[in-house]
Amino acid sequence: MTKKRQSSKVFADRLTVLDPVAQRVIDTLITTANAQRAQLLKRYLPQLPALLMGRSINFKEKMSFYDDKLLPIDREQGEFLYMLLRSRGGQCAVEFGTSFGVSSIYLAAAIRDSQTGGRLIGTEMVAAKVVSARANIAAAGLSTYAEVREGDARLTLLNLACEVDFLLLDGWPTLAMDILRLVEPKLSNNAIVVLDNVGHFRGNLRSLTNYLKEDRRYVVSELPLHGGMIIAIFKKSCPQL
Ligand SMILES: C[S@@+](CC[C@H](N)C(=O)[O-])C[C@H]1O[C@@H](n2cnc3c(N)ncnc32)[C@H](O)[C@@H]1O
């Protein structure tokens, strides 16, 4: 019998897709992220009426506040993204917004386990987060399957050499449209595009969600994960509207 990868059978009474080593790294990161929640709530409190009414908010002020914030996808999203990428397979996954590497670990694990020889290209503009993300990905035993490019994704994702089979948009919502338009010419047929934070920042993401809904090349669904996450499948041969 070939050596079977051991999955972590029980986490909080639930099955998980990750192996125990990667799961331990995720547990630590999510615990840290949860401890930052009060600070985040305090920051967003003045903007709560606008957020609840689905209006855009200003993201420009004191962005250094986020330099030590993980802001990760949650476990359910991670498990789901793993399943999506694992079943899609493919050579190249791209992630806009790596932060400390939580989503990268789920995606890199899916690439490793699907044995396609593929790779994740993550990108993060805060240098200290890049260092942490690389260390976390290494601690999860996944460095072979992921790279983290340092800098503004509008530059680091220019001239991608690979066809992109999976794209996670999880950087600042105000830039998500730019990044989709940048990567779109590189999307493979049936590429999966995931847009996080739709429920939280509906106003800022409205033009992008409308674009995805109206362009016939995309098959789109919004799922109630992390307050709202859009999954789209890109049909390359479909005429654009
Ligand atoms: C929501 S967090 C990403 C969380 C990450 N996907 C995870 O699950 O752990 C968003 C990250 O995007 C990064 N970011 C925002 N704009 C960026 C840009 N233009 N280029 C690269 N990274 C960017 C921020 O620094 C922040 O760390």
Q: Is the CB of 18 under 6 A from ligand 1?
A: no
| CB contact at 8 A, 29 and 136 | yes
Q: Is the CB of 217 under 6 A from ligand 1?
A: no
What is the structure's pLDDT at 10?
46
Q: Is the CB of 147 under 6 A from ligand 1?
A: no
What is the structure's pLDDT at 14?
74
Mean pLDDT of 207-218: 96
Report ipTM (2 d.p.): 0.99
Q: In the structure encoding, which two tokens stand for residue 162, read together?
A: 């690979």
| CB contact at 8 A, 199 and 226 | yes
Q: How many residues does the chain have?
A: 241
CA 145 – CA 19 distance, rounded (Å): 15
Coarse DSSP helix, strand, coil percentages of the chain, rounded to the nearest 5 percent: 45, 20, 35
| CB contact at 8 A, 18 and 139 | no
Q: Note the pLDDT tens digit of each residue in 14-46.
A: 789 999 999 999 999 999 999 999 999 999 999
Sign of CA dihedral 72, 64, 155, 139: negative
Q: Note the pLDDT tens digit of each residue in 62-82.
A: 899 999 999 999 999 999 999
Pocket test for ligand 1, best of 81, 120, 170 (most atoms within 8 A of CB): 170
149 CA → ligand 1 middle, Å: 12
CA 237 – CA 220 distance, rounded (Å): 16
Distance of CA 167 to the CA centre of its chain: 8
* pLDDT for residue 2 is more than 70: no
Mean pLDDT of 193-205: 95
Distance of CA 2 to the CA centre of its chain: 32
| CB contact at 8 A, 8 and 19 | yes
Reported as a pLDDT band with limits 50, 70 and 90, residue 13 is low
Q: Note the pLDDT tens digit of each residue in 120-166.
A: 999 999 999 999 999 999 999 999 999 999 999 999 999 899 999 99
> What domains can be seen in the chain, in order of their start residue?
10-241 (3.40.50.150)
Residue nearest to atom 22 of ligand 1 (CA): 124
Parallel, antiparallel or unpaired: strands 229-234 and 218-223: antiparallel
CB count, 10 Å around CB of 60?
Answer: 7
Q: Is the CB of 97 under 6 A from ligand 1?
A: yes
